[in-house]
């Protein structure tokens, strides 16, 4: 093999295939894209490189996503939110068309759980809505609209009526949304 994927052995590619929902071609493409982000002097050992968060967030597939910061926080295994190649593969695997509803809902829940407390509370829901609608004056919901929307979300989703949406409740809602699996993806 030549080119940018010459540093991935067949054994490593096979291992990545077993550990992810990605095909060999998707892994090689991910490796190529990750290599392009790596500093030139570090390209000889891309698997040891960590891409700083600002550089990672410039990927066109990530840049336009309103949850880009949360995606980086959830998938990065470092405190500074830099991304290793394996972090990158984990992210692509979760967003892959082949990933199961359970995997997608697990990561979506973590992305939407802004405070990381294991439940989607009113603050998380407000932040989620603001990410989707924007925070500018012309797109931002009024306080009344926001409160009504959050109330409606909780009414539909909070099965145990504790004022939050736990992971099980979130999965239940997602299971009733046939478009969720196809819309929760990032394609390189």
**Residues 62-114 pLDDT 10s:** 998 999 999 999 999 999 999 999 999 999 999 999 999 999 999 999 999 99
Report CA-CA distances (Å) from 6 to 1, 12, 13, 34, 168.
Answer: 5, 11, 11, 13, 43
Q: How many contiguous H segments (helices) and E segments (strands) does the chain have? A: 11, 2
CA–CA gap between residue 109 and residue 94 (Å, rounded): 12
Q: Is the pLDDT of residue 1 over 50?
A: no
pTM flag (> 0.85): yes
> For the chain, how big is the Rg over CA atoms in Å?
19
High-pLDDT (> 90) share of the chain, %: 73
Domain with CATH 1.10.238.10 in the chain: 10-94, 101-183
Q: Average pLDDT, stretch 152-163?
A: 96
For domain 10-94, is the CATH number 2.40.50.100? no
CA–CA gap between residue 28 and residue 44 (Å, rounded): 16
What residues contact residue 78 under an 8 Å CB cut-off, 6+ apart?
50, 84
- Span 31-51, pLDDT tens digits: 999 988 886 545 556 778 899
pLDDT of residue 152: 96
CA–CA gap between residue 138 and residue 63 (Å, rounded): 22
Produce one character per residue of 60-74: b if its CB has 16 or more CB atoms within 10 Å, e if not.
eebeebebbbbbbeb
Which CATH architecture is the domain 101-183 placed in? Orthogonal Bundle (1.10)
State both tokens at 130.
Answer: 């603001």
């Amino acid at each position: 093999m030549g080119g940018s994927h010459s540093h991935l052995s067949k054994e490593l590619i096979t291992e990545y295939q077993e550990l992810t929902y990605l095909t060999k071609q998707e892994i090689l493409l991910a490796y190529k894209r990750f290599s392009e982000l790596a500093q030139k002097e570090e390209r000889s050992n891309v698997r040891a490189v960590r891409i700083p968060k600002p550089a990672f967030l410039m990927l066109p597939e990530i840049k336009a996503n309103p949850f880009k910061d949360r995606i980086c926080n959830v998938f990065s295994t470092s405190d500074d939110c830099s991304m290793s190649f394996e972090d990158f593969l984990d992210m692509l695997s979760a967003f892959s068309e082949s990933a199961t509803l359970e995997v997608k809902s697990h990561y979506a829940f973590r992305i939407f759980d802004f405070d990381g407390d294991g439940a989607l509370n009113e603050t998380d829901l407000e932040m989620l809505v603001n990410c989707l609608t924007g925070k500018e004056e012309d797109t931002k919901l009024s306080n009344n609209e926001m409160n009504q929307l959050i109330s409606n979300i909780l009414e539909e989703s909070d099965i145990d009526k504790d004022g939050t949406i736990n992971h099980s409740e979130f999965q239940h809602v997602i299971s009733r949304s046939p478009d969720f699996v196809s819309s929760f993806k990032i394609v390189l």
